[in-house]
Structure 1
Amino acid sequence: MDLETFAPGSGGLAPRAALRSDAPSLDLNGTWRFRLSPTAAVPDDFAQPDHDDSGWAELPVPSHWPLHGHGSPAYTNVVYPFPVDPPHVPTENPTGDYRRVFDLPDGWSGGRLRFDGVESFARVWLNGHELGWSTGSRLPVEFDAGPFLRPGRNVLAVRVHQWSAASYLEDQDMWWLPGIFRDVTLTRSAADVFVHAGHDGRRATLSFDGPGLLDLPELGVAGLEPGVEVTVAAEPWTAETPRLYQAVVTLPGETVRLAVGFRTVSIAGGVLLVNGRPLLLKGVNRHEFHPERGRAVTYETMREDVLLMKRHNVNAVRTSHYPPHPAFLDLCDELGLWVIDECDFETHGFGQVGWRGNPTDDPRWADALLDRMRRTVERDKNHPSVIMWSLGNEAGVGRNLAVMAGWTRDRDPSRPIHYEGDWSCEHADVYSRMYASHAEVEAIGRGVEDPLDDPALDARRRAMPFLQCEYAHAMGNGPGGLAEYQELFERYPRLAGGFVWEWIDHGLAHPRHGYAYGGDYGEPVHDSNFVVDGLVFPDRTPSPGLLDLKKAFEPVGFAFGDGVVTVTDKHGFAGLAHLTFTAVVEDEGLTVAEFPLRVPAEGGEVKLTGLAELPGGGGERWLTVRAVLADDQPWAPAGHEIAWAQTPLPPATGLDGEGGGAAPGAEGGTTVSPEIGPDVGAAGSTAEAWAGVSRAGDLVVLGGAAFDLATGRLVRLFGHDVEGPRLDLWRAPTDNDRYGGLEADWRRLGLHRLTHRIDAVETGGGGLTVRTRVAPAATDLGLRAVYRWTATDGGGLRLAVEIEPEGDWPAPVPRVGLAMALPGGVERVTWFGRGPGEAYPDTGTATRVGRWSATVDDLQTPYVYPQENGHRADVRWAEFTGAGRAFRVVGEPVFGLTARRWSTAELDAATHRPDLVPGDRVHLHLDLAHQGIGTAACGPGALPAYELRVRPTTFTLRFTPS
């Protein structure tokens, strides 16, 4: 049967370009009649025009039927959800029958039925006549409808099978979602045009293939014939300067319009060039996805994606792992993004069986693979944004790659070919890898990577540019190491940059889970939350990872020297003329001066004068410089920030030459008000005085605090009932911790179940000393932790924690810090440190030193799969307010801060956002250090510099009433 054939289809017309034509067309999207059957063995009598479908359901087109109550979605990353036995498919094969009645306009004759995307096998009838069948889910197909159209009422019937032989070619990392999910159109357009518009940096050339005559009035081109090349005075198209010209091609019976961009892609000396200049790709991988619509994305969603990318300094997209909706490429042309356009082809699941029977190396599949490549290239060949063709993804190696690459080079020699799955690059023009470590990327940049066995292939590959088609896996909290990757890309000309995996979390809206991932629909085989690995959350809210990526991708660099800032232009094409520069001086996070910077158009050194004479409060001072858009752009308004940098300044001398007073948070001049003082006895009354420490029953009173006499635990702080603080090593594992293996190491060590033994509670010397041993059961590893509490002026407290490890600790630990609990009435945190967002040792480059304020609820980062989040770094002081009370924690010099309304154990146990239910306490973490984040969910772990090893240390904090 056709479902189990190697052929790509039958009855389809030759593929052609997606064009804007004035030929009549009829939009067949909308509400269709729909019936779902559990198997493919269903009579096809529904295709007859008089079939009674009144009892059928209704289904919107475009859409996926599992998202409308017909069956369920399923997610796998690598494995096939059916036996690997090509070309056979399961008998249990969900089959959707569609019917659409439409009226043909008067005078209509001829035409083509166009389907832009159907997953995975579609058979089409018009008025009871079979037009043909097609595979290639993310690719268009057209059928000749002319002979079977009727005046007035027409009936279009489509049968869609979820599984077919073609499913073996579509094992991409995403939800399996059958249905007619892109547009359906009846059109009388038959035009096919291929415009060639090149630019070598000095002159532009224009020609085209196809029938008709071409006019481009803006450049004085009129009546250009096919195959004739002319030189024109055109500005080049780049992603930074997306200059488009409107061309018109007049053909018999119709006129088509094209947006033409002049640019030339080339490779010279191992460097990727556009218009003769080196190109650095600052890219992301983008699946088409919407949490309610799946891959049936709207134009508004596509535009939102492009705008978000541009606003976060992303300049490139790899269309993982299939051609996108054609309107997305129109937007890339218009707004400016470099694109690697990838064929709809992946056979990753064959890797589970040793690549036996892989279609990539089976000649029976050659026609199907060539058909997919032809449909990709022919549809998208006129887009200036498309600078490379990709043969597919994770499909191993084999002879059919040569078939695909050979045809593509013949059809379009103007674009290089990409394919990552064969590291020998036998059929590719660029050397592409996934998740190579920083060390390997540097070796490749230097040209000293490990050689291939074949000297000829090795020499060929060494002459290629290198890119990471996937890196910095953005799953959950992360990715770490972005800045270090970008520094390498910018240092070595051979490195053409790369594409972060990936753009969006594929969490499907779910009534119970909030957002669903693999396994939430009862799939027997799934890959859990590995589908939730994006830089934006499902609702397209930017994650901290996207903010860090914007920082890493900044096209302007700043370097501070003695009284100067050096501004470097990192654009490839645009320069700095479209930007304005400002500087702000802040004292303890409060602005004391703001002024413009006059930066030369090509960048350079800018003097900074008079900063020491600015007034201030005598606190810590920082200079922040910013580059912002000078005028509105199509993708962002004037004032949108492009790049920034900070540097500390010496303390202000003030207007009178003296310091401006005590820094906020400094000791001195603070009194304990009665309403926030400790609710215990005072020394000299019923309490027993102990050399600066007093006793009230079972409590020890010190400064504005009270401690349990038996355990030394703090129980009352400035009127607040509290618990702790005590040493903590655990964090709710991140996705990188879990998938990278660290979580397993930590649980084997028992770091999630530490015991705290009290060895001594001592008073004397005006303070309280608590000696403990902190250790997990079933091991002789441990930490000696000594807490030394002393009183400070104004009723405050100073805590010094001395930590001494015992034993040979075999792995990094999650965190070293103090955990305590506050009353639930604490609602807001104001802090001076890095913010406003979260930061960990190898993340948080988007955060800057300043004064910030947020509610406890707003401090949380809502990862779809709950995990460690919300850590604020390098905090100098933090003030906690609520229920009419306030107190402050001050670092000596800094600390890390996390505050949430659920415990670490509750966060650790949660698997979806709704699992996190606020309790009656605020759980506060005051950290000395954290383990780095890395990208070990897929790729390398944290760099050695960001690993947290236990070692002797002292951690000091001050607590003061506010």
Structure 2
Amino acid sequence: MSTPQDPLRNAHDLTAREVPGASGAPAAVPSRPGESGDAQGPCSPGRPSLPYYEDRAPGRGTLPPRAWYAASDARRLGLGGEWRFRLSPTAGAEDDSFARPGHDASGWDRLSVPGHWVLQGHGAPAYTNTRYPFPVDPPRVPYENPTGDHLRHFGLPEDWPLGAGSGDTVLRFDGVESCARVWLNGTELGVFQGSRLPHEFAVGALLRPGGNVLAVRVHQWSAGSYLEDQDQWWLPGIFRDVTLLHRPPGAVDDFTVHASYDHRAGTGTLRVDCRTGGSGAGGGDGPISGPDGGAVPARITVPGLGLDLAAGESATVPVEPWTAETPRLYEAELAAPGERIALRVGFRTVAVEDGVLKVNGRRILFRGVNRHEFHPETGRAVDADTMRRDLLLMKRHNINAVRTSHYPPHPAFLDLCDELGLWVVDECDLETHGFADTGWRNNPVRDERWFPALLDRAARMVERDKNHPSVIIWSLGNECDTGPGLTAMAGWIRARDPGRPLHYEGDPSCADTDVYSRMYAPHAEVELIGRRAEEPLSDPELDARRRELPFVLCEYAHAMGNGPGGLTEYQRLFERYERCQGGFVWEWTDHGIARRAADGTPYFAYGGDFGEEVHDGNFVCDGLLFPDRTPSPGLAEYKKAVEPVRIEGDGEAGTVRVTNTHDFSGLSHLAFTWSYEADGAPVADGGLPVPPLAPGESAEVKLPEPPRFPAGGGGSGAGAGRDRDRPGAGELQWTVRAVLAADTAWAPKGHLVAWAQLPAG
């Protein structure tokens, strides 16, 4: 088993490892995806078998997972754009001759990739909340299994390195729903499942300097669909990037950034573990040799800190820590003999101490949302501008945390969270909610035959996202009930990354988690939990352990229709009880699909609008935003409820009480103003001097003397021209605001952060 001292053992190096089976007996886990699954090809010869898309195993032929990074000097070629496409009604309607070079696809349709074929005129979307849209008979799927054949002809740049001594090239898929079989130039590369997870193949030996043909067969339904019942549209296709990545000799195969922060000393400790080789992702054995035969390790340099370290070395220096409020990132470079990678390093430490979740030694409070990836026109093929727009809207509405319901997002989204400052609960691509209708019978997390797929999904999430400071919690998945498969996942993640706590809401015993999580608990129950006086578990040992865990609402305040409600009451409980550390509103945005009526009127479609027999109606439209990202009134209400500065007072007495509810920041980044208003019209305004306040501190501030309205002059509105003390002077009030004192990365100077209106008499 991988250990913290051996951090780069591959996620799939699982030979001879054992995990507990459903009966407590050990269950062997394969060393590579697909090695001991139910099928090796379309049908395994010599015995009754399932086709590969009904195989429980996660796949075959793929490389081990590794860290994702955006910037490197190694060559890359994006393969997005216009592909040739053919849709078949069943998985077996066509043979695989289309993958051979020279196949005539001139009569095929054209399809944009990344994209979903059901949003480009081929078939139709379907929405279900918890029900599977097909009979539950795992791992089998319906005979009517829409299957999309994709072809991409591409040439390589003339200077693309090929041949002996040039290293290798990796073909990367960042997201395909739900099962893909891949060929390059007529040679089959392999098969994979796990829709929101990356998969790579080594293809250098197959590439040609002239034309190349990439063929991908995508099945809408597969065994993996049983693990992806996630309250969203079922949208098949290649919906994330497809990329060729050159791996020069001596390139970085994988790396792990360890950047911790000691809040007592104000120092950060940096170590980067790195494996080089360039023979494909995860293929190197260590440093390559230099001219003198000695090892040439990779090096990490951080100019802003004066650091220049060999991989594996550590150094401790004074640093500014990374938090969601102060997302300090240090520009760095990881240089191996064959590749240079640009990095941004954030120093922070996450721990559960004394029953409280802390970052850098301080309790944090989640003012969060659940975010599915969705765009009303392109589905889960979400572009970078939409990701940034989402995060800017969150920051401008005082949201500081995202739960990536219910799968890892596009990796670029996490780069933006690092940059702009949001806490992230990164959730595994796993939900088996539809088995609830069968009493959880045949639930995959209780069946050891599914364990390789479960572990594969956990490993691909962790290895891809391990270097993001914004990711502070790993989540095992959502609504899978309980089972030893989840225990196996938790054990693997803890061994691989002991620096982040684990979350999973579906097990009330919290046996496999470090956080007590609930959905939609009412105020009274949250108060009991805050007092550690909740209903006891039947197992005294588990009960005692759970009472020592921090508490979060991973979903609350359902934002459908005129929701959410009760927000202020929840927030006061979170502030009153140290154990209660906030929550994540369900959910960020409506999933309405943009359509036009016969007369041209635009509208947003929901479940049933595409003729589905099995659907869950408008329950897919329950967000704080409308599908086009127009904020709902509920988002304005949430912004007010979770303000990081609380402004209260007595307008008649002329006093204001300001409380800093940030977790880390003072108030120097804010400017406070007052406005005196008559019937809503400003009469006078000015700046309000508020003393420096550390997080949790309060101060009373005196308002200026209110202006008077002598007869015949002053002011405007109904109160103008009358003495403020005279009956009928109109409604008088103070409005006190906290605004940004300077431009930030997420909002301009003057942006409203918090406010209050106080009756003046």
C-alpha distance in structure 2 between counterparts of 1:460 and 1:256, whole Å: 43
Deviation at 1:612, TM superposition (A): 5.9
How far off is 1:227 after superposition?
2.6
Larger gyration radius, structure 1 or structure 2: 1
Kindly report which structure 2 residues correspond to 1:399-418, keeping only aligned pairs within 5 A, or say none. 399-418=484-503
After TM superposition, list the pairs within 5 Å mapping 1:240-255 onto structure 2: 240-255=325-340
What is the match of residue 198 of structure 1?
260
- Residue aligning to 1:308: 393
Local SS of the residue matching 1:191: strand
Contact 2:551–2:579 (CA under 8 A) maintained in structure 1:
yes
- What displacement does 1:226 show? 2.7
Separation of aligned partners in 2, 1:407 and 1:458: 24
1:579 to 667, 670, 681: 670
Q: Which residue of 1 aligns with 2:686?
A: 595
* Residue matched to 1:35: 86
Cα distance in 2 between the residues matched to 1:558 and 1:104: 61
The equivalent of 2:11 in structure 1 is none
Q: How does 1:109-258 map to 2 (within 5 A)?
A: 109=162, 110-189=168-247, 191-201=253-263, 202-211=266-275, 212-222=298-308, 224-258=309-343
Partner residue, 2:655: 564
Residue of structure 1 in register with 2:125 after alignment? 73
Task: Report the alpha carbon displacement of residue 152 of structure 1 after superposing the two structures with TM.
Answer: 1.0
CA distance in structure 2 between the partners assigned to 1:105 and 1:300 by the alignment:
28
Using the alignment, how far apart are the partners of 2:428 and 2:214 within structure 1?
Answer: 29
| Structure 1 counterpart of 2:745, from 625, 634, 645 | 634
Which residues of 2 match residues 390-469 of structure 1 at below 5 A?
390-469=475-554
Task: Tell me the distance in 2 between the aligned counterparts of 1:80 and 1:634.
Answer: 42
Of residues 602, 605, 616, the one that matches 1:516 is 605
* d(CA) in 2 for partners of 1:51, 1:252: 41
Q: Which amino acid aligns with 1:555?
A: P
Question: How far is the alpha carbon of 1:516 from its aligned partner?
Answer: 0.4
How far off its partner does 1:595 sit? 1.0
Aligned with 2:463: secondary structure? helix
Q: Does the CA-based 8 Å contact 2:654-2:705 persist in structure 1?
A: no
User: Which residue pairs with 2:619 in the alignment?
Assistant: 530
> Relative CO higher for 1 or 2, CA cutoff 8 Å, sep ≥ 6?
2
Shift of 1:380: 0.3
Pick one of 560, 579, 591 that aligns with 1:494. Answer: 579
Q: Structure 1: give runs of 5+ residues left out of the alignment.
A: 651-962
Taking the aligned partners of 2:429 and 2:538, their CA distance within structure 1 comes to: 31
1:22 and 2:73 matched: yes
1:430-475: per-residue Cα shift (whole Å, max 9, x none)?
A: 0000010111111100111001011111111111000000000001
Gap runs ≥5 in structure 2: 1-50, 163-167, 276-297, 721-728
Amino acid at match of 1:311: R
Q: Which residue of the partner structure matches residue 892 of structure 1?
A: none
Deviations 1:747-781 (A, max 9, x none): xxxxxxxxxxxxxxxxxxxxxxxxxxxxxxxxxxx
In the alignment, which residue of structure 2 is the partner of 1:481? 566
Structure-1 separation of matches of 2:707 and 2:742: 32
Rounded Cα–Cα distance in structure 1 between residues aligned with 2:54 and 2:760: 71
2: distance between equivalents of 1:158 and 1:518?
29
Residue of structure 2 aligned with 1:345, choices 408, 430, 439: 430
2:367 matched residue in structure 1 = 282
User: Aligned partner of 1:609: which letter?
Assistant: P
CA distance in 1, matches of 2:399, 2:500: 21
**AA of the residue aligned to 1:401:** L
Secondary structure of residue in 2 paired with 1:155: strand
Residue 62 in structure 1 maps to residue 114 in structure 2:
yes
Q: What's the CA shift for 1:200?
A: 2.5
Correspondence for 2:705 among 602, 606, 610: 610
For 2:30, the equivalent position in structure 1 comes to none
CA shift at 1:477, angstroms? 1.2
Q: What's the counterpart of residue 404 of structure 2? A: 319
The one-letter code matched in structure 2 to 1:443 is L
Identity between Structure 1 and Structure 2 (%): 65
Distance 1:640 1:609 in 2: 23
Counterpart amino acid of residue 452 in structure 1: L
Contact 2:183 2:216 in 1 (8 A): yes
The whole-number CA distance in structure 1 between the counterparts of 2:562 and 2:701 is 37
CA contact (8 A) 2:179 2:224 kept: yes
Q: CA deviation at 1:566?
A: 1.3
Cα drift, residue 563 of structure 1: 2.4
CA drift at 1:234:
1.1
The CA distance in 2 between the partners of 1:634 and 1:256, in whole Å, is: 24
Q: Which residue does the alignment assign to 2:724? A: none
User: For the residues of structure 1 that align with 2:627 and 2:554, how far apart are their CA atoms?
Assistant: 22
Is 2:99 aligned against 1:47? yes
Cα deviation, residue 573, structure 1:
1.1
Counterpart of 2:641 in structure 1 is: 552
SS of match in other structure, 2:89: strand
Name the aligned partner's letter for residue 304 of structure 1. R
- The 1-side partners of 2:313 and 2:561 are apart by 53
1:316-373 superposed Cα distances (whole Å, 9 cap, x missing partner): 0000000000110000000000000000000000001000000011100000000000
User: Counterpart amino acid of 1:218?
Assistant: G
RMSD value over aligned CA atoms?
Answer: 1.0
Counterpart-to-counterpart distance in 2, 1:609 and 1:121: 67
In 1: Cα distance, 2:193 partner to 2:386 partner = 26
Counterpart of 2:284 in structure 1 is: none
CA deviations on 1:122-159 (whole Å, 9 max, x unpaired) are 00000000000110000000001111111111100000
Q: Distance in 2 between matches of 1:399 and 1:116?
A: 28
Structure 1 consecutive aligned stretches of length 4 or more whose deviation exceeds 3 Å: 612-617
Whether the aligned pair in 1 keeps the contact of 2:684 and 2:707 (CA below 8 Å) is no
Q: Distance in 2 between matches of 1:21 and 1:501?
A: 37
CA-CA distance at 1:402 after TM superposition: 1.0
Instruction: Report SS of the residue matched to 2:412.
Output: helix
Deviations 1:413-443 (A, max 9, x none): 0000000010110000000000101111111
The separation in 1 between residues aligned to 2:83 and 2:692, in whole angstroms, is 57
Report the TM-score, using the length of structure 1 for normalisation.
0.67
Whole-Å Cα distance in 2 between the matches of residues 548 and 620 of structure 1? Answer: 23
Distance 2:704 2:259 in 1: 49
Range with bigger deviation, 456-465 or 104-113:
104-113
- How far does the alpha carbon of each residue in 1:821-847 deviate from its partner, in whole angstroms, 9 at most, with x for none? xxxxxxxxxxxxxxxxxxxxxxxxxxx
TM-score, structure 2 normalization: 0.84
In the aligned structure 1, how far is the partner of 2:646 from the partner of 2:546? 32
Cα distance between partner residues in 2 of 1:140 and 1:251: 23
Residues 378-402 of structure 1, C-alpha deviation per residue, up to 9 Å, x if partnerless?
A: 0000000000000000011000111
SS at match of 1:433: strand
1:505: Cα distance to partner? 0.3
1:105, distance to aligned residue in structure 2 (A): 2.0
The SS at the match of 1:633 is: coil
Alignment of 1:928-943 (within 5 A): none
Shift of 1:249: 0.9
Q: Deviations for 1:690-714, whole angstroms, at most 9, x for unmatched residues?
A: xxxxxxxxxxxxxxxxxxxxxxxxx
Q: Does 1:2 align with 2:52?
A: yes
Aligned mates of 1:200, 1:284 — CA distance in 2: 29
Deviation at 1:228, TM superposition (A): 2.2
CA distance in 2, matches of 1:229, 1:419: 33
SS in 1 for 2:431: coil
